[in-house]
Structure 1
Amino acid sequence: MQEPPQSLAAALETACLTATLESISDAVLMLDHSWKIRYMNGNAERLLQVQRSEVMGKNVWTVFPEAVDGPYYRAYHQAVETNSAVAFEEHYAPLNLWTEIRAYPSAEGVTIYFRDISERKAIEAQIHNMAFYDKLTGLPNRQLLLDRAGDALSQGRLGAMLFIDLDNFKNINDTRGHDKGDILLQMVGDRLNAAVRSCDTVARFGGDEFIVLLEDLGPTEEAVAKAAQEVAAKIIHAFVAPFVIEGVDQYSTPSIGVTLFNGSCGTVDEVLKRADLAMYQAKAAGRNNVSFFDPAMQARVSARAALEADMRRALVNDEFVLYYQPLMNMDGTMAGTEALVRWKHPQRGLVSPAEFIPVAEDSNLILPLGRWVMHEACRQLAQWANDKRTAKLAMAVNVSAQQFHRPDFVEQVLEVLAATGARADKLRLEMTESLLLKDIEGTVEKMQRLRAAGITFALDDFGTGYSSLSYLHRLPLDQLKIDRSFIWAAVKEDSGAAIVRIIVALGKALNMSVVAEGVETLEQLNFVIAEGCQSYQGYLFSKPLPEPELLTLIAGL
Structure 2
Amino acid sequence: MLEPPQSQAAALETGCPAITLESISDAVLMLDRDWNIRYMNGNAERLLQVRREEVMGRNVWEVFPEAVDGPYHRAYQQAVETNSPVAFEEHYVPLDLWTEIRAYPSEAGLTIYFRDISERKAAEAQIHSMAFYDQLTGLPNRQLLLDRAGHALSLGHLGAMLFIDLDNFKTINDTRGHDKGDMLLRMVAARLRAEVRGCDTVARFGGDEFIVLLEDLGATENDAATAAQEIAHKIVHAFGEPFAIDGTDHHSTPSIGITVFSGGNVDEVLKRADLAMYQAKAAGRNTVSFFDPAMQARVNARAALEVDLRRALGNGEFVLHYQPLMCVNGTMAGAEALVRWSHPQRGMVPPADFIPVAEESNLILPLGRWVMREACQRLAAWAGDARTAGLEMAVNVSASQFHRPDFVEHVLETLAQTGARADRLRLELTESLLLKDVGGTVEKMQRLRAAGVSFALDDFGTGYSSLSYLHRLPLDQLKIDRSFIWGAAKEDSGAAIVRIIVSLGKALNMSVLAEGVETQAQLDFVIAEGCQYYQGYLFSKPLPEPELLALIANL
Tell me the TM-score normalized by structure 1.
Answer: 0.94
SS in 2 for 1:300: helix
Q: How does 1:31-42 map to 2 (within 5 A)?
A: 31-42=31-42
- For 1:397 and 1:47, how far apart are their aligned partners in 2? 74
1:242 paired residue number:
242
Tell me the matched-pair count: 546
Displacement of 1:371: 1.7
2:530 paired residue number:
532
2:182 paired residue number:
182
Taking a change above 3 Å as real, the CA distance of residues 338 and 59 of structure 1, as seen in their structure-2 partners, is farther
- For 1:374 and 1:344, how far apart are their aligned partners in 2? 18
Q: How does 1:194-233 map to 2 (within 5 A)?
A: 194-233=194-233
Q: Does 1:129 align with 2:129?
A: yes
Displacement of 1:11: 12
Q: Does 1:477 align with 2:475?
A: yes
From 414, 420, 423, give the equivalent of 2:421.
Answer: 423
Taking a change above 3 Å as real, the CA distance of residues 81 and 549 of structure 1, as seen in their structure-2 partners, is same
- For 1:545 and 1:122, how far apart are their aligned partners in 2? 75
- For 2:213 and 2:159, how far apart are their aligned partners in 1? 8
SS in 1 for 2:90: strand
2:140 paired residue number:
140
- For 1:200 and 1:407, how far apart are their aligned partners in 2? 33
2:494 paired residue number:
496
Q: Does 1:319 align with 2:320?
A: no
Taking a change above 3 Å as real, the CA distance of residues 122 and 331 of structure 1, as seen in their structure-2 partners, is same
1:274 paired residue number:
272
Displacement of 1:404: 1.9
Displacement of 1:385: 2.4
1:88 paired residue number:
88
Taking a change above 3 Å as real, the CA distance of residues 413 and 86 of structure 1, as seen in their structure-2 partners, is farther
What letter matches 2:164 in structure 1? I
Taking a change above 3 Å as real, the CA distance of residues 380 and 26 of structure 1, as seen in their structure-2 partners, is farther
What letter matches 2:118 in structure 1? S
User: Greater shift after overlay, 337-346 or 41-50?
Assistant: 41-50
Displacement of 1:109: 2.0
What letter matches 1:257 in structure 2? G
Displacement of 1:466: 1.2
What letter matches 1:19 in structure 2? I
SS in 2 for 1:69: coil
- For 2:400 and 2:197, how far apart are their aligned partners in 1? 22
- For 1:417 and 1:411, how far apart are their aligned partners in 2? 10
- For 2:376 and 2:513, how far apart are their aligned partners in 1? 22
- The superposition leaves residues 205-240 of structure 1 with CA deviations (integer Å, 9 ceiling, x where unpaired) of 111111111110012211111111111111111111
- Counting aligned pairs with the same residue, the percent is 82
- For 2:79 and 2:351, how far apart are their aligned partners in 1? 68
Displacement of 1:178: 1.5
2:164 and 2:209 in contact (8 A); partners too: yes
2:357 paired residue number:
359
Displacement of 1:23: 3.5
Tell me the TM-score normalized by structure 2.
Answer: 0.94
Displacement of 1:53: 4.1
- The superposition leaves residues 469-506 of structure 1 with CA deviations (integer Å, 9 ceiling, x where unpaired) of 12211222111100000001101233211110000001
What letter matches 1:82 in structure 2? T
From 299, 302, 306, give the equivalent of 2:300.
Answer: 302
1:172 paired residue number:
172
SS in 2 for 1:515: strand
Displacement of 1:112: 2.4
Q: Does 1:548 align with 2:532?
A: no
- For 1:29 and 1:537, how far apart are their aligned partners in 2? 85
- For 2:192 and 2:489, how far apart are their aligned partners in 1? 58
2:11 and 2:20 in contact (8 A); partners too: no
What letter matches 1:214 in structure 2? L
1:77 paired residue number:
77
- The superposition leaves residues 91-121 of structure 1 with CA deviations (integer Å, 9 ceiling, x where unpaired) of 2223332222222211122222332322222
- The superposition leaves residues 250-289 of structure 1 with CA deviations (integer Å, 9 ceiling, x where unpaired) of 11111111112222x3x21221111111111111111111
Taking a change above 3 Å as real, the CA distance of residues 369 and 12 of structure 1, as seen in their structure-2 partners, is closer
User: Greater shift after overlay, 68-77 or 38-47?
Assistant: 38-47
